Amino acid sequence: MRDSQRVRGMAEWRGPGGFFGINSRSVSGPLCIIGAIVGVSLLAGNDYQLGLMFMMGVYFLCAAGMNVLVGYAGQKSLGQAGLFAAGAYGAAILSTRFDWSPVFALIGAAVLSGLCGALIAWPSLRVRGPYLAMVTLAFGIVVEKLVAGWTEVFGGAQGIYGVKPLTLSGAPLSGLHWVWLVLGMGVITYFLLRNLLKGRFGRAWLAIQADEIAAACAGINVYRYKVLAFVIAGICCGIAGALVAQHGQYINSDYISFNLSIFILLLVLLGGAGSLYGPLIGAILLTLIDAYLARWPSVQHFGYGALLLFALYVMPDGVAGLLKRLNGVSAPEAGPANQLDASKGRSVLARTVEAISPGGADHSLLEVEHLGKSFGGIHPVQDVSFSLRPGKIHALIGPNGAGKTTMINMLSGVIPASAGRIAFLGDDIGRLSSHAICRKGIARTFQNLRLFGALSVQENILIGRHCRMQNGFFSALLGLPSSRAEEHQAREYTASVLKFFGLTALAQRPAGSLAYGLQRRLELARALATEPLLLLLDEPAAGLNPQECVELGDLIVMIAGLGITVVMVEHHMDLVMKISDHVIVLDHGSKIAEGLPAVVRADERVIASYLGAPAAA
Ligand SMILES: Nc1ncnc2c1ncn2[C@@H]1O[C@H](COP(=O)(O)OP(=O)(O)OP(=O)(O)O)[C@@H](O)[C@H]1O
């Protein structure tokens, strides 16, 4: 998916609307399409045309679920035929062997395929990109072989006959009823997913797609969200499969093939991955193309392969992206960045910090005891201990390769320590993951910027609010008032942070399009939006010009003035000596000195290993 499209997709949010998050502007497009399909279905003259419309609805369900997984969460999946099969065979077996009613068989099939989704999500913790695609592909192939070869259970090529269809007043649904049923399910699916994708869940998936480490450090439970995306894709594909089995009252292994996985992927990519309309466009277009190409089975799969390549190379935004471009939708104009304006956002930020900051200045906020890290035979940090006083600016300095970033990575949970203990407010956080550490109140920035470059400035900061938002999955899915109120509050808080950092005029710009100095500022803003008690800054002045360095120093002092403790890894000694209250010096992984800046500057070991002797007058 192209960056600009994602940004625009997220920027479409228009504030609190009507019941269940539905407002007139947001429903007009889908309602037009639904009205057109209802109209056509009423005019449809024969079973073939009704069958085509039924398949459009079925493919839309598949595509809508896969869009969450592929378009938003960015997980490469090629196992969707397996999920479809889980639903189809689940419904078939439950209704024929266990005599379940069609409705319960449909629900059972959805649960089963959701579980299969969770199963294939498991490897996504360890493998990414093409490797994940291989794992999901293997799942699809295993299911394909299973349903074809285990004839006692799945019937092989003969299939399973007598699948109970859904009924109306005791009679099986007519062709028109099936169309209206899938249409109704499609509409419900669209609005439920829309609620989810427009709020913190959608942002979390986009953040994971952009950068998993940055997402975790912004408080997102990456694994949980990946599993959720796979389960949603599984349920949607499973319901689609179950409907096909119930509609035809039959399912066999011919349905379940690698081609089906590619076809479902194509629905998303051609329609427009990461777009709310994309799956609908993909379903309509590809059902018609599929029906047309069915006359020439020998070129059918060739046609899909060619379309897939076309979608990937020529139209990466899909048809939805193309339509938006033709409509002239572009990124909004932005004014210049403002100077930092503490008066604007300070009251909100300070109040929050006071509310969550326990203890007084005498307490130690963080205790590091005999901390060590080994990468095989390399020991970047060895037996380091120090403690941090709240509300102070602490600098962590030392020569290249001294272990400073490794220390920050351990404090923020990016890598586990090999030895020692980290206590934050008295709790051992050494075994916690990054998102849990962020939730506890430790935020960080990165030596090499890790912004979500395709998302807007505002969305980047909203992602920082993620860990302070409480609304659950079902409340977000249903667009309940509590969830919408919380989203509204998050946006208000974000507006305060934007003002504090002088970024209001740039709120809708893609983060990646900002000047380098502003990107550094934005990363700091995102970290501050998590309401940290401790802020870890890894070389915040790297790449800044002298004027920006001065501004950064003022900003850090301002942040510390809010009561937030700062640890700053930095090579700019002027900045360190000017604003730090306490300096810790590492060399070859060991602490060689700590204390007040003036004391450290005069320390002979520090002079010898890092600072060097001052030039003679
Ligand atoms: N994942 C890793 N595997 C192996 N060695 C690593 C790994 N990460 C860091 N190191 C090594 O650990 C040592 C310390 O690296 P680290 O990045 O912490 O240093 P630093 O003090 O931050 O340096 P700089 O100021 O240049 O950023 C280096 O020798 C580095 O090569």
pLDDT in tens, 194-223: 999 999 999 999 999 999 999 999 999 999
- Specify the CATH number for 44-326; select among 1.10.3470, 1.10.4160, 3.30.70, 3.40.50: 1.10.3470
pLDDT, the chain, mean:
84
Residue having the nearest C-alpha atom to atom 1 of ligand 1:
375
Distance CA(39)–CA(52), nearest Å, equals 14
Distance CA(265)–CA(445), nearest Å, equals 35
pLDDT in tens, 239-290: 999 999 999 888 888 888 888 888 888 888 888 888 888 899 999 988 888 8
Average pLDDT over residues 8-35: 49
Residue having the nearest C-alpha atom to atom 11 of ligand 1:
380
DSSP letter, residue 166: P
Percent of residues, the chain, with pLDDT higher than 70: 86
pLDDT of residue 290: 83
Residue 315 identity (one-letter amino acid): M
pLDDT band at 14 (very low <50, low <70, confident <90, very high): very low
pLDDT in tens, 307-363: 778 877 877 788 888 888 787 655 555 555 555 555 555 555 654 555 445 555 557
pLDDT at position 6 over 80: no
Ligand 1 centroid to Cα of residue 372, in Å, is 13
pLDDT in tens, 429-450: 998 999 999 999 999 999 999 9
Instruction: Please give the residue that has the higher pLDDT: either 282 or 12.
Output: 282
Distance CA(505)–CA(549), nearest Å, equals 22
- Dig out the tokens for 211 from the structure: 């950068």
Reported ipTM: the value is 0.96
pLDDT of residue 608: 85
Any ligand 1 atom below 6 A from CB of 401? yes
pLDDT of residue 139: 83
Ligand 1 centroid to Cα of residue 400, in Å, is 8
pLDDT of residue 7: 37
Question: Beta strands 393-397 and 565-569: pairing type?
Answer: parallel
Please, are residues 276 and 196 in contact by the beta-carbon 8 Å criterion? Answer: no
pLDDT of residue 530: 94
DSSP letter string over 483-534?
A: HHHHHHHHHHHHHHHHHHTT-GGGTTSBGGGS-HHHHHHHHHHHHHTT--SE
Domain positions in the chain are 44-326, 356-452+515-611
Pocket test for ligand 1, best of 406, 570, 592 (most atoms within 8 A of CB): 406
pLDDT of residue 291: 83
Please, are residues 86 and 109 in contact by the beta-carbon 8 Å criterion? Answer: yes
pLDDT band at 161 (very low <50, low <70, confident <90, very high): confident
Distance CA(466)–CA(436), nearest Å, equals 12
pLDDT of residue 361: 52
* Least confident segment among 3-7, 207-211, 238-242, 490-494: 3-7
pLDDT of residue 332: 53
Q: Which atom of ligand 1 is nearest to the CA of 415?
A: 1
Average pLDDT over residues 59-65: 94
Ligand 1 centroid to Cα of residue 610, in Å, is 16
Any ligand 1 atom below 6 A from CB of 71? no
pLDDT of residue 327: 74
Average pLDDT over residues 115-142: 81
Please, are residues 317 and 272 in contact by the beta-carbon 8 Å criterion? Answer: yes
What count of residues does the chain have? 617
pLDDT at position 99 over 90: no
- Dig out the tokens for 260 from the structure: 């089906």
**Angle formed by the axes of helices 80-96 and 102-121, nearest 10°:** 150
pLDDT of residue 21: 46
Average pLDDT over residues 161-176: 82
Other beta carbons within 10 Å of 409: 24
**Cα-Cα-Cα-Cα dihedral sign, residues 443, 407, 601, 575:** negative
The verdict on domain 356-452+515-611 having CATH code 3.40.50.300 is yes
Any ligand 1 atom below 6 A from CB of 252? no
pLDDT of residue 301: 75
pLDDT band at 494 (very low <50, low <70, confident <90, very high): very high
Helix (H, G, I), strand (E, B) or coil at 383: strand
- Dig out the tokens for 116 from the structure: 């299969």
Instruction: Please give the residue that has the higher pLDDT: either 254 or 457.
Output: 457
Distance CA(487)–CA(17), nearest Å, equals 12
Pocket test for ligand 1, best of 213, 375, 407, 412 (most atoms within 8 A of CB): 375
pLDDT of residue 140: 83
Residue having the nearest C-alpha atom to atom 30 of ligand 1:
401
Buried-exposed string 324-359: b where 16+ CB fall within 10 A, e elsewhere: beeeeeeeeebeebeebebebbbebbeebbeeebee
Residue entry with tokens 């609307």: 17
Query: Phi then psi for 380, rounded to 5 degrees?
Result: -70, -25
Distance CA(352)–CA(494), nearest Å, equals 13
Please, are residues 442 and 170 in contact by the beta-carbon 8 Å criterion? Answer: no
pLDDT in tens, 514-560: 999 899 999 999 999 999 999 999 999 988 888 889 989 998 998 99
Distance CA(495)–CA(133), nearest Å, equals 39
pLDDT of residue 385: 94
Give the C-alpha distances (Å, rounded to integers) separating 328 from 205, 322, 324: 27, 10, 6
- For residue 306, the surrounding DSSP H or E stretch is helix 297-313
CA angle, residues 457, 463, 464, in degrees to nearest 5: 95
- Dig out the tokens for 413 from the structure: 């949970």
Residue entry with tokens 């035809």: 248
Pocket test for ligand 1, best of 404, 411, 572 (most atoms within 8 A of CB): 404
| Closest to 380 measured CA to CA, from 591, 593, 577 | 591
Distance CA(275)–CA(318), nearest Å, equals 9
Instruction: Please give the residue that has the higher pLDDT: either 293 or 489.
Output: 489
